[in-house]
Amino acid sequence: MKALIALILLVQLPIHKAAPAAPPAPLGCDDPESEAAAEVAVNYINGHSRHGYKFALNRVEDVRVVPQGPNNDIIFLELDLLETTCPILSPTPLANCTVRSFAEHAVEGDCDVKLQKLDGTISVLASKCHSHADSSEDISKICPDCPLLASLNNTEVLETVSAALNDFNSKTTGPYLRLLEIGRGKIQYHPAHVVAVEFAVGATNCSAEEAKVNVGACQLLPEDQSNFGFCTGTMVKLPSQNLHVDCQLYGHQPGVTYVHAGQDTSAGLPPSAVGVSNHDLRISYHNPLASESSSSEVFRSMLSAKPVTKRAVAVAAQHDKVPRPVGFVPPPPPPCPGKIRHFDI
């Protein structure tokens, strides 16, 4: 019996000794923990976005973990997102949304997100994003005749939206639709002159017949009955005039509201969208439910702590370069940036 206990102690001793000596490995951008945090972050960003389209994860650019205590970490993520074809008001879950292809004139989002992992539960404390369309030169190089994104206040885009919505309203048996916002406008010149638009709409309390009598009295349905939808319109101007429009209403979605970003809603443009080709994700969000103070000041100071963490990662990387005995497993690929899920812009 004594011998058995001694044997157990002997076996256990080196393990106990070795465990605390192992340094914590830096978290890689493609590690499951980073991916789980990125998923929470992307859902949060889409949940707080009010204009344009839902975004999907393309790549985790960087991840940094700042331990706060037992089972309590602050995680900083730098994410690359890509615009999908799902409008922000669409009920389609992100997993079912298609990322817009490069040739459709992709829009990229860059986000810095601060999260907390407390007892295994990840929540967002703050996020800061910016989005921009790929350069027209990039697309023209690969596809010289592809239509390119035009400014959302481009005259031809505005004309086409108006013509498409009038055409739809003149034929529909459903409710009279009002424009909420223009999502995208693309113009092609060769081989035909084509203007393609996408815009969000809302059902009013009028039928198309009632709207003919007094369109001014037709109001968007109140919040508890709201019914949003989305239209695509294509106007061929040359060689011959032709208009095609298609609209789909989503049905009432409890809790989903459209936030008007300014007075200029008749043109379907929040002030931030005038003169640009895509709605910007630029807004910063601070989770009011977050337990920790996450003022913009704190967020900025935490982000500026980045070089220190970078240096720590660099030192760890150098450590890996120490010559290994023959037969040793080769070191893993660099932990960041992570893999590209769709395409590189």
Ligand X SMILES: *[C@@H]1O[C@H](CO)[C@@H](O)[C@H](O)[C@H]1NC(C)=O
List contacts with ligand X (CB under 6 A). 92-93, 96, 151, 153-155, 205-206, 210, 217, 219, 274-275
d(Cα 220, Cα 211) in Å, to the nearest integer?
A: 12
Distance of closest approach, residue 281 Cβ to ligand X, in angstroms: 20
95/142 with CB nearer ligand X: 95
260/324 with CB nearer ligand X: 260
Distance of closest approach, residue 219 Cβ to ligand X, in angstroms: 4
Distance of closest approach, residue 96 Cβ to ligand X, in angstroms: 4
Distance of closest approach, residue 226 Cβ to ligand X, in angstroms: 13
SS (H, E, C) the chain: CHHHHHHHHHHHHHHHHHHHHCCCCCCCCCCHHHHHHHHHHHHHHHHHCCCCEEEEEEEEEEEEEEEEECCEEEEEEEEEEEEEEEECCCCCCHHHCCECCHHHCCEEEEEEEEEEEECCEEEEEEEEEEEEECCHHHHHHHCCCCCEECCCCCHHHHHHHHHHHHHHHHHCCCEEEEEEEEEEEEEECCCCEEEEEEEEEEEEEEEHHHHHHCHHHCCECCCCCCCEEEEEEEEEEECCCEEEEEEEEEECCCCCCCCCCCCHHHHCCCHHHCCCCCCCCCCEEECCCCCCCCCHHHHHHHHCCHHHHHHHHHHHHHHHCCCCCCCCCCCCCCCCCCCCCCCCC
Distance of closest approach, residue 87 Cβ to ligand X, in angstroms: 14
Distance of closest approach, residue 259 Cβ to ligand X, in angstroms: 20
Distance of closest approach, residue 26 Cβ to ligand X, in angstroms: 35
- Burial per residue of 281-313, b for 16 or more beta-carbon CB atoms within 10 angstroms, e otherwise: bebebbbeeeeeebeeeebeebeeeeeebeeeb
| ω into 147 cis (within 30 of 0) | no
31/159 with CB nearer ligand X: 159
Distance of closest approach, residue 203 Cβ to ligand X, in angstroms: 11
Token pair 């109140």 in the structure block, residue: 222
Distance of closest approach, residue 268 Cβ to ligand X, in angstroms: 13
110/156 with CB nearer ligand X: 156
Chain position whose Cβ is nearest to ligand X: 275
d(Cα 64, Cα 75) in Å, to the nearest integer?
A: 6
